[in-house]
Chains A and B, each alone.
Chain A
Amino acid sequence: MTTVAHELKASYAFIERNFFLTRRYWGWELAFLVYSVAGALSISLIGADQGSPRLLLTLMVGAIFWNYLSVVFGWIAETIEIERWEGTLEYTMMAPIRRSTHLLGSVLYAMAFGLVHTAAILVVLFLFFPNMDLSQANFATVGLFMLLGSFSIVGLGILAAILPLLYVERGAQMAWVLQSLILLVSGVYYSVDVLPGWMRAISALSPATYVLDGVRRGLIDGAPVTTLLGEVWPLVVMGIVLIPAGLWAFGQAERYAKRTGKLKRVG
């Protein structure tokens, strides 16, 4: 029990540190928020321009929930890159904590930050489109898909965080490319049905595909979870598989970095 308490305290260290970093880099965070709000509004206005409330909601859901998923993915994927940039990676790797503790702290902060960030965008969109009709919305469905999707995205984020461990110079860029590919194949702003066959096959492997589909059907059509089990089970499986797989792969990558001296590099 004391070991668990120690590990939880250490996890909190990462949450607190990331909060301090956000506070110190508030100018960048504000700029990023403005950019995200402007992006979400621009995309949503395409729906307004077409005079289609359904298209408007479809695009809004894409903009809002892609923002959440990408913020969570980004924070976790940058777990190593931030420390490499600051030069603190070796000190964190020397600390007497489990790697899962390290990653848990990063994940919890990423999810909290993602929720706050997304809530801010949501408020602006509601103010901009006050006549939006959500009378049919099933918020329980939306919440469940957000929760399940978070687990899967966390697993993918941990896998992406490995890249800067393995590729000192280009790891961060590779994580960015991975995030872009998830955006492309997951039907964020369009139905995956318009994708070529081979891309549709890849979209079936992206958790974001199921999250966005489930959220849209819950929010726009008011569909209960019981009618969306076909979208639920892939997310459950992905969460169960991706998080342990991410932790295992992270351990292997750390060992590789220690064997080849790649923890040392800075910047």
Chain B
Amino acid sequence: MTATLDPQLKTTRRASDDRPAAARPARPAATKPALLIEHVTKRFTVGRKRKPVAAITDVSLRLERGEIHGVLGANGSGKSTLIRLVSGLLTLDEGRVEVFGHDIERDEMAVKRLINRVSVDAAFFKKLSPMENLVFAARLYGLDARAAKPQAIAILERLGIAQKRVGRPVEQMSRGMQQKVAIARALLTSPSLLLLDEPTTGLDPRSKLDVQSFIEEVRNSHDATIVLTTHDLAEAERLCSRISILNDGRVVAEDTPEGLKQLVATRYGEAPTLESAFMTWTGRSLDDDVEEDQSGGDE
């Protein structure tokens, strides 16, 4: 695994950014946090009694530029809801969110140009090829299709997808390969803030390692800030500079991975591991989480 991106990738990234000023992401201000979430609450009305249920309650986070911030939590803890709120796919009930100083409600279009997202399920037009899907995404983000194609090929090759595969329907690819294409789609638009919602869930160990290495490369060479939700504690420890633990829609702990381990050891007398931290602050074992996964829990 190389430590840096293919030089062609860096070059094509600049070359393809020929979008008109209106479509090009504004250069993020250096002094603004990459992501600022202040006292955000989101409720959903569910059931016949129309009772509101809080999915996210009074969550505040601040991410500096270039950071990879992990969000851990059991199923139903609100991780995906938080990602959707930052993505503008859900409206806020309370609080505010800013991306590089742009309010997501007042300056929606500017925020959309700065972010992209990879979700746990690689969502594509399955009958179309990776290239057709990627060119569609590139056009939506104002990129020139001719410039985007070599860039897409370079990213896909870096992720282990050969050029000869990019013309075949996505449905013929394995789940791991589809997820890599999803990551390539997000990277193609050069997001300043990348939201990764369990990007390695369900991948085999080799694919997981490929994706994790690529996330590190993106952080190092693309000047991207990344929010990563995951159930994989080793992944969080490897990639994240800071971690927040969500429980029932609330942030119950936030620190560096090392800080969380020290805290759980000194405050609760538990083993200094992320697993101990997770179980202590979520009040449940990992086995509980797996059982809920298998029963089809959704958040």
Interface residues of A (CB under 8 A from B): 2-3, 5-6, 9-10, 12-13, 16-17, 20-21, 24-25, 86-88, 90-97, 255, 258-261, 263-264, 266
B161 to chain A, nearest CB (A): 19
- Please, how many angstroms separate the alpha-carbon atoms of A88 and B19 in the complex? 24
Contact between A10 and B142, CB atoms less than 8 A apart: yes
Please give 19 more A-B residue pairs, beta carbons under 8 A apart, in addition to A86-B126, A92-B140, A93-B89. Answer: A2-B22, A6-B20, A6-B22, A6-B23, A10-B140, A16-B136, A16-B139, A17-B125, A17-B136, A21-B128, A88-B123, A88-B124, A90-B89, A90-B123, A94-B88, A96-B112, A96-B140, A264-B89, A266-B121
What are some 28 contacts across the A-B interface (CB < 8 A)? A2-B21, A16-B136, A20-B125, A20-B128, A20-B132, A25-B127, A86-B125, A88-B124, A90-B84, A90-B87, A90-B119, A90-B123, A91-B123, A93-B88, A94-B88, A94-B89, A95-B137, A95-B141, A96-B23, A96-B109, A96-B112, A255-B91, A258-B88, A258-B89, A258-B91, A259-B91, A261-B84, A261-B90
Q: On chain B, which size bracket covers the interface?
A: 35 or more
B82 to chain A, nearest CB (A): 13
- Please, how many angstroms separate the alpha-carbon atoms of A17 and B129 in the complex? 11
Contact between B136 and A13, CB atoms less than 8 A apart: yes
A223 to chain B, nearest CB (A): 44
A-contact 0/1 string along B73-93, CB 8 Å cutoff: 000000001001001111100
Contact between A24 and B127, CB atoms less than 8 A apart: yes
B97 to chain A, nearest CB (A): 13
- Please, how many angstroms separate the alpha-carbon atoms of A94 and B189 in the complex? 12
Contact between A264 and B84, CB atoms less than 8 A apart: yes
CB-based nearest B residue for A82? B125
Interface residues of B (CB under 8 A from A): 19-23, 44-45, 81, 84, 87-91, 109, 112-113, 115-117, 119, 121, 123-128, 132, 135-137, 139-142, 169, 185
User: Are A95 and B140 CB-contacts (below 8 A) given A24-B128, A86-B125, A260-B45?
Assistant: yes
